[in-house]
Chains A and B, each alone.
Chain A
Amino acid sequence: MKNRLRMLRAERSWSQADLADRLGVSRQSINAIETGRFDPSLPLAFKLAKLFHLPIESIFSD
């Protein structure tokens, strides 16, 4: 699954650690999601969507 997480994070000048703190997860989780090696659960995807004020489908795609 592809995602725009790295781009969205860069737009806000957030580091991986910043985003991890906001989501309450580890920095490694963000790294794994950004590189496509780990697909987040639905609750975490919703958290991401809420944080970026975007619908889930605009962050994640097939």
Chain B
Amino acid sequence: MLLCNKNLTPLQRRSMQRMGAALVLTVVTNLSTPSLPNPFRDLFPGLSQLTPSYVHSSVLLVGLLSALSVLPVLLAVWVAARYLAAEPDEFIRALVVKALLWGFAVTMAGNAIAGVFMNIYSRPFPLSVLNADLFFASGLIAFRILQRSYR
């Protein structure tokens, strides 16, 4: 799964497109919850006008919305699992697994740092809603670095 590379196999290209869809879906589901800190809303304050308010909403609707936020995560995991199952090159498979582990480590470290900031300043930190994006971006960068070491 190489970013900006012309030599992608059809499987890798298809997986990248599906992963991109999962990341876009993450942003969309984050925007549907106005109480969550969202850097996109900070950048584009007009987005706040588009997002609905759920102050007087039923528990069912709130529950449904929270369930919706799971969809991009499940989609991303499904894409990664499908890719790993279909990738014929065992070495690339091993690299992808290593890269995903690095992505996991970076995300956990980022959340630990965000947790400290949230405790000190007593306010939500935007990183907490970008976990999926941070995970896959750092995983992708890790994959590129790992692959370069085998040139």
Interface Cβ pair total, 8 Å cutoff = 29
Chain B residues bordering chain A, tally (CB within 8 A): 9
Ordered nearest first, which 6 A-B pairs have the shortest CB separation?
A: A29-B91, A28-B150, A25-B89, A32-B150, A26-B89, A41-B90
Q: How far is the CB of B45 from chain A (nearest CB, A)?
A: 46
Q: Which residues of chain A are within 8 angstroms of B88 by Cβ–Cβ distance? A: 24-25
In this assembly, does A1 line the interface, its C-beta being within 8 Å of a C-beta of chain B?
A: no
List 20 A-B residue pairs with CB atoms under 8 Å apart, sorted by A's residue number. A24-B88, A24-B89, A25-B88, A25-B89, A26-B92, A28-B91, A28-B92, A28-B147, A28-B150, A28-B151, A29-B89, A29-B90, A29-B91, A29-B92, A31-B150, A32-B91, A32-B150, A37-B150, A40-B90, A44-B90
Nearest A-chain residue to B150, judged by Cβ: A28
Chain A 39-58 near chain B by CB (<8 Å), digits 1 or 0: 01100100000000000000
Q: How far, in angstroms, from A14 to B147 measured CA to CA in the complex?
A: 22
